[in-house]
Structure 1
Amino acid sequence: MVETWQQIALGVLVLLVFTSFIKEWVSPEVVALGALVTCVLIGVLPIAVPSPAPGLEGEALTNALRRFNADALRVFAHPAPITVACMFVLSAALERTGVIEVLGHWFERTAGTSPTRMLVIMIVIVAGLSGFMNNTPVVVVFLPIVLGICRRKDWAASKYLIPLSYAAIVGGTITIIGTSTNLVASGIAASYDPNYAFGFFDVTPLGIVFVAVTFVYLLTIGKKLLPDRVTLAALIDSKDAREFITRAFVSQESPLIGQSFLESSLKKMKKARVIDVVRDGNRVRESLNEVVFEEGDEIIIKGRLGDLMGLSEKDGITQDTSDQLGLEDVRTESAVMMEGIIGPDSSLAGKSLKELNFRQRFGVIIVAVHRRGRNLQERFEDVKLAFGDTLLVQGPARRMQQLFELKDFVNLSEPKEVAIRAKKAPFAIAAILAFMVLGLLSGINLIPPIPIVQVALCAAVFVLLTGCIDPSEAYQSVEWKVLFLIIGMLGLGQALQYSGVADLLAIKVVETTHGMDPRILISLLYLLSAILTEMVSNNAVAALLTPLVIIVGIQLGVDPKPFIAAVMFGSSASFATPIGYQTNTFVYGAGGYKFGDFFRAGFPLAVILWIVASILIPVIWPL
């Protein structure tokens, strides 16, 4: 039996978890797992509980089963994180076999004829894909395509990237597998009572309405509210971007030997600048201002081609004045300027450019950084990088290629070219279609009910066995941070349920709303979920609120499914901030947006969808 002090401690723990999510003291998945461990340490959740002994009856059997079901280790076998992991693998299979790329290329060929046409086709494709796969890779694939079209047409990319994210978000509400939030809420409901579970297409009617409303909104009201922002690359004039890099050696007789860079005439060059010094094949690790030249040093100089060719007259770099500085010209190569964004699992996150020794490590220079609505062109070396930061990088094409091959950096300037397994595409498509068909047949009772997790596991194993994706790619495709966050929050939700805190809260809600129409309560629960998901993880909101609303429905004597649906859809309604949903964070930096841009464009949409959900949820899921 859980004691009163443990219930109080659990309440304090929930507040600390939400505060930590908002303040970002620690990574969310660490906070969630820490909360799960704390629930075990304070005795709220038992661990490694044996199954009830034979012969138990009545209340003794009920208590034993209740304790067994509250075992903290059971969250690791919960269907929600397992299904989410399988969906990551299936999404990666579609990406690796070129299915998404084919759609992306078709979009690039057909959508660039007019701004409205591009917006219409983009919303339809992205929303449709997001209903059946993880929406993050969809956004990652379409980001550089949209940016490329906007550059060529001289359109403002900021008019399209927020709609790209919003289409991915509402598209995820079309099916139960479209977003991990749906899977978490449905999984908790099924574990409470199989009758409360949601089938594959149970959410489709409201999901399609959400997509249709968002579609109309973005083409009418939203179109006028979208900002006209300058992307990071546009800060630099296109002519200035066409620069070249010259490499020169310090000869044996050079007067530069023994001079520091600050003392040398190289520091005074107007039309070109030294960006690096290589000694004995390695980049000098000291700050450029601290470098003292030695014989044989390779000096790397950047500037526009005409300026480099004119250095012989003014700066004494090339052949006419090589005797003066003792520099031997080596070679000149084109310097490419490209944009990249720090990915969610990047090893660069949490470290500054200075700590990373970025210039020496990657052989490129950072021209500017976009962070939270600000474009920084100077004094950003000490800024710690974070997910969503957009960097404008410049350097030789070959070094750029090496940089963007890393998982740390998502290329925004051009679609990432990878070797695809096109011959395996039919298998990947077959896996998704089989998933959909079995889900549909099971949902309308034409075949015996099949758990979604079972179908997901079969589909994931199928794409592995058929070679659509190899095991190492499957492991890399899984966003482990998301899984651990879900596991931790499921544990916290289980603790609320087992400890009786969820019952106490539900009773308090029922007493406070006594006499209120349940439809109004559904509307308020949707609103609460939508507000919380703008501040913390949508999965965390679903994991904590779902057990509570199930008990509220039972206390009111009505079907809990409409309350669960309110949490499910409300937790996915992140439109007003760039931090509430991962796709919003991706486009935040890429589009050169400010924080308030999301509120201006997304708040009216959030209110409209709240009204729509409040009206339709009780109709689709009668009380």
Structure 2
Amino acid sequence: MSGDLLPLLFVTGLLGWVLVSFVRETWSPDIVAGIAVAILLATQLLTPAEVLSVLSNPAPITIACMFILSAALERTGCIDVLGEWLGRRVGTSPDRVLAGLILTALAVSAFLNNTPVVAILTPVAIALARRASTSPSKLLIPLSYATVLGGMLTMIGTSTNILVDGVARKAGLEPFGMFEITPAALAFGAVGFVYLMLFSNRLLPDRETLSRQLRPDLGRTFMSELLVPHESPVIGKTLSEANLNGGSGLQVLKIFRGEHEFTEPSHAFALAAGDLLVLHGKVRDVVDLRENGKLAFNRGEAFETVSNHDVVLVEAIVGRNSRYCHRPMRDLDLTARYGIAVLAVHRQDENVQSNLDDFQLEFGDVMLVEGTPQQIKRFADNGDLISLNTVNERAYRRDKAPIALTTTLAVMALAALGVMPIEGLAIIGSALVLATGCLDVEDAYKAVEWKILTLILGMLAISIAMDKVGLVDAVVSHTVALLPHASPLVMLGFVYLLTTVLTEILSNNAVAVLVTPVAIGLAQSLGLDPRPFVVAVMFAASVSFATPIGYQTNTFVYNAGGYRFSDFMRIGIPLNLLMVVVALIVIPLIWPLVPA
């Protein structure tokens, strides 16, 4: 390793820029990592051979294959069957619904990627909440937290476990067994279950979903775009005569007629067929206009082709692989392709109901969509959307379910028995589900989180540069100097706390790559066994409860449940602190800190 101070300072500054960029979200994390690697190559602090050497790490290929196996189980309806079974078993008691949802999510997430588990169980949770006369916001954060805790149960439960194991192997540690972490993770899961059962109802708010927010009887005002139909009784009338001049509670802000735009039109402005009105008013007033045939929601040329009794309003959440992401809605041409209308879009605490043409959808956005059930189903299926009002009736390949389930269980069992390393078994398993038709090749490519893999590969290259210039050793030596008389348990707590705090503001996979070498170096410098320190990083990089941005499942339910940022802090910070206590008790019991 180079002992020169200038390379050390440069890499330290570059790493600082990477972390700040992650927080500021100017670019996506994978792009930030790629830029950092390019800078390291340009400055010759990394060679091309060193960058390409990250491909020899088994973690990325294992994670990609586990994404495919999870998608096969989802596509063959295995998770959907669990959701149906849960709905039949929990009844209408809010406590039974909460317990059943948490336990189901815990069990399933031990073997599957937790994001599709949350995606499929979210509509189930909303339906169960309605049956139990409770709010979905009482269930969706516990659902997300349960999948996070469930992912800790096995080595394939989450990409973080696989990644930390891969980094540890590169450092010379023995690979983790498939169920080596299960006893400790069960303690985390049990404590988390009790906490959520006791405090979810007390700490979580009664939040409204988007469709409830727009119910006519709530009287909420909003911005909307409406058209004048060809047979509307307001054609030829002025805004004043049509009672759209503000006296009725409705105020027309703009009118678009062909290529012309009229801002703040006068009371004497005469309406014509095809005019597009941007107005402000109460939902009940807008609904009255539509029911009376005066105006219609903006559906382009298709707005008059659907009879009123066929039309339904449905909430749909944008999935992680949706083709609708990051494109202006005008380019999606939803009316021409599907005949549906997007009436509103909800993002975090903001309902977006105007200028929808320029709006770009993102993962986790909730859309209020109007159309026939058939149109909405086609729209959701083609765009990887999840209906929140009804469980999406996909054409599952249920006849292939035994193959997908047996393959996944075989991968786990053979890995636990040491027949072959998990990466080899995962490759065989993913090839098998593709060859047997459990999953199409196109679906397999969509199932892989390419942004996560790119971020992992970039961070692995950055970690090589950190080690090469001596940054890891410098961090370890300074930590030991700051805590010269700290006990091994205090050092373990320091590693756990550092990891969990960083995970709340950064990508958990990025944190795992950065902190694992430091944890190993710190343990070795103190003459301690590095294995429990690696486990601390593994667990702390998963238990992200205090913010909606630390983990993908939290981001997913953030909008679906109508939550605010503070809702996660209120219930998540105490749970994070509780997990610290559990870690300091359980980890040393299973993995002694001092080598025998």
Matching of residues 418-497 of structure 1 within 5 Å: 418-442=394-418, 450-497=420-467
The number of residues matched between the two structures is: 567
Aligned twin of 2:213: 235
Give the drift of 1:611: 0.5
Query: SS at 1:339's partner residue?
Result: strand
Letter in 2 for 1:339: E
**Residue deviations 1:365-410, cap 9 Å, x none?**
4444333234456677766543322222223444423321233533
**Residue deviations 1:349-378 (CA, integer Å, cap 9, x gap):** 445657867667764444443332344566
Task: Compute the displacement of 1:38 (Å).
Answer: 1.9
Partner of 2:129: 150
CA distance in 1, matches of 2:249, 2:474: 72
- Paired position in structure 2 for 1:402: 378
CA distance in structure 2 between the partners assigned to 1:288 and 1:125 by the alignment: 55
The answer as to 2:589 corresponding to 1:619 is yes
Distance 2:120 2:260 in 1: 38
**In 2, distance between residues paired with 1:400 and 1:178?**
33
Computed over aligned residues only, the root mean square deviation of the Cα atoms, in angstroms, reads 3.7
2:55 aligned with 1:76: yes
In the alignment, what sits opposite 2:568? 598
Q: Within 1, Cα distance between the matches of 2:53 and 2:450? A: 18
State the shift of 1:185 in Å: 0.8
Is 2:139 the counterpart of 1:160? yes
Corresponding position of 1:45: 46
Q: Does 1:558 align with 2:534?
A: no
* Aligned position for 2:152: 173
What's the offset of the Cα at 1:207?
0.9
1:106 shift after superposition? 0.8
**Residue 94 (structure 2) aligns with:** 115
Pair 1:147–1:129, CA change in 2 (3 A): same
Distance in structure 2 (CA, Å) of the matches to 1:183 and 1:553: 21
Distance across 1 between alignment mates of 2:364 and 2:444: 24
Q: 1:112 to 1:373 in 2, by over 3 A?
A: farther
Q: In terms of mean alpha carbon deviation, does 408-417 or 262-271 score higher?
A: 262-271
TM-score, normalised via structure 1 length: 0.82
SS state of the match for residue 505, structure 2?
A: coil
> Is the CA contact (8 Å cut-off) linking 2:365 and 2:559 kept in structure 1?
yes
Distance apart, 1:495 and its partner CA: 1.5
C-alpha displacement at 1:556, in angstroms? 1.1
Change (3 A) 1:272 1:357: farther
Partner of 2:281: none
SS at match of 1:572: coil
How far apart in 1 are the matches of 2:292 and 2:39? 68
Q: Which runs of 5+ in 2 are unaligned?
A: 220-225, 278-283, 297-303
Structure 1 residue aligned with 2:24: 23
Alignment of 1:340-419 (within 5 A): 340-350=316-326, 363-375=339-351, 385-407=361-383, 409-419=385-395
Match for residue 51 of structure 1?
Answer: none
Structure 2 counterpart of 1:333: 308
Contact 1:93 1:463 (C-alpha < 8 Å) held by counterparts: yes
Per the alignment, residue 320 of structure 1 pairs with none
| Aligned AA (2:86) | F
Per the alignment, in what secondary structure is the counterpart of residue 313 of structure 2?
strand
Letter in 2 for 1:400: I
The amino acid across from 2:10 in the alignment is A
Quote the residue 2:13 is aligned against: 12
2:223 aligns with none
Helix, strand or coil at the partner of 1:138: helix
- Identify the residue that residue 104 of structure 2 maps to in structure 1: 125
Given the two structures, how large is their TM-score scaled by the length of structure 2? Answer: 0.85
Secondary structure of the 2:383 match is coil
| 1:103 and 2:79 correspond | no
Distance in 1 of aligned mates of 2:227 and 2:522: 71
Unaligned runs of 5+ in 1: 49-70, 318-328
Q: Matched residue of 1:406: which SS? A: helix
Distance 2:308 2:259 in 1: 23
406-415 or 208-217, larger mean C-alpha shift: 406-415
Match of 1:68 in 2: none
Tell me, in whole angstroms, the C-alpha distance in 1 between the residues paired with 2:562 and 2:479: 43
Could you tell me how far 1:307 is from its partner in structure 2? 7.0
Other-structure match for 1:63 = none
Q: Is the 2:403–2:438 Cα contact (8 Å) retained in structure 1?
A: yes
Match of 2:473 among 491, 494, 503: 503
Using a 3 Å threshold, how does the CA distance of structure 1 residues 194 and 236 change in structure 2: closer, same or farther?
same
- Aligned counterparts of 1:237 and 1:248: Cα–Cα separation in 2: 23
State the alpha-carbon separation in 2 of the partners of residues 286 and 543 from structure 1. Answer: 55
Q: Which amino acid aligns with 1:209?
A: A
1:159–1:226 Cα contact (<8 Å) kept = yes
Q: Displacement, 1:293?
A: 8.3
- 8 Å contact 1:150–1:157 — kept in the other structure? yes
Change in Cα spacing, 1:154 to 1:518, as seen in structure 2 (3 Å) is: same
Judged with a 3 Å threshold, the aligned counterparts in structure 2 of structure 1 residues 288 and 615 are, in CA distance, closer, same or farther, namely farther
Structure index of larger Rg: 1
Q: State the alpha-carbon separation in 2 of the partners of residues 260 and 451 from structure 1.
A: 76
Describe the superposition over 1:85-115 as per-residue Cα deviations: whole angstroms up to 9, x where unpaired.
0011000110111111111111122223211
1:535, 1:622 → 2: CA distance? 30
**C-alpha spacing 1:263/1:224, structure 2 compared with 1 (3 Å):** closer
3-state SS in 2 of match to 1:340: strand
Contact 1:374–1:594 (Cα < 8 Å) also in 2: no
Cα distance in 2 for partners of 1:565, 1:206 equals 10
Residue 79 of structure 1 aligns with an amino acid whose one-letter code is P
Query: Structure 2 matches for 1:524-535, cutoff 5 A?
Result: 524-535=494-505
Residue matched to 1:514: 484
- Write the distance in 1 (CA, Å) between the matches of 2:295 and 2:544: 58
SS in structure 2 at match of 1:220:
helix
Alpha-carbon separation, structure 1, partners of 2:115 and 2:63: 13
In 2, Cα distance between equivalents of 1:99 and 1:414: 18
Partner amino acid, structure 1, of 2:388: L
Q: Which residue of 2 is the match for residue 52 of structure 1? A: none
Equivalent residues in 2 for 1:319-330, closer than 5 Å: none
Counterpart Cα distance in 2 of 1:288 and 1:419: 47
Q: Is the contact made by 1:89 and 1:460 (CA closer than 8 Å) also made in structure 2?
A: yes
Give the CA deviation at 1:205.
0.9
C-alpha distance in 2 between matches for 1:602 and 1:517: 28
Aligned to 2:189: 211
Instruction: Tell me how far 1:261 sits from its aligned partner.
Output: 9.0
